[in-house]
Structure 1
């Protein structure tokens, strides 16, 4: 699973940098919050999870890593689209934003549980 995380993280890296370049060129920083979240939760956090899961196969090759991957992969775009709409003035997506945000938090908790259970134990070492 580690490599899948890293590849998805790279997609977010391209999107985050692209959004940053667009904002600079347009001199419009309305979407700074989206840019920051994409780079932190999409690129940095997902890449780090991928590296951890590659280094510790016991953590990367279990049901928790698969659940985390799909919860995060589905909920982060929902959260980012809703945040974009909210920052552009569309308050009708607040509930969906809350759902996406909550699911991102759930994926982070799943990651933390997986790491505590499977990284650093004798069986979890590479």
Structure 2
């Protein structure tokens, strides 16, 4: 497996562990006020990153492109900005990070579409 799928999968596993620990903490404290942030950490940090890693593992041509590393960095930035941004929004201390993180997440998914379409020609032959 090339470097990009490994980065996506390892980061996804790390975010899953953090998300699970956070979920256990919320359950133990019976305080689920930050559930939306926890959900986004699991959905984008674990699920989306694992799906992206799977795509790049199955398509080495796409994984070898410079676009793949940009995609990884953009997705990582989206999670790092969005999740704390949602926490801040839920606590009433501002929504700017949540908004910025949402845009980064949207751009990450758009870049994934570009990667898939760019490399679809080679897969259809």
TM-score w.r.t. the length of structure 2 is: 0.90
The equivalent residue for 1:7 is 10
- Which stretch of the first structure deviates more once superposed, 71-80 or 10-19? 71-80
Report the Cα distance in structure 1 between the residues aligned to 2:58 and 2:75, rounded to whole angstroms.
20
Query: 4+ residue stretches of structure 1 with deviation over 6 A?
Result: none
Report the Cα distance in structure 2 between the residues aligned to 1:35 and 1:97, rounded to whole angstroms.
13
The equivalent residue for 1:25 is 28
TM-score w.r.t. the length of structure 1 is: 0.89
Unaligned runs of 5+ in 1: none
Contact 2:85 2:99 in 1 (8 A): no
After superposition, the C-alpha distances for 1:31-78 in whole angstroms (9 at most, x for unaligned) are: 110111111101011011101101111111112211111111122111
Q: 1:55 aligns with which of 50, 55, 58?
A: 58
Pairwise CA RMSD of aligned residues?
A: 1.4
How many correspondences in the alignment? 121
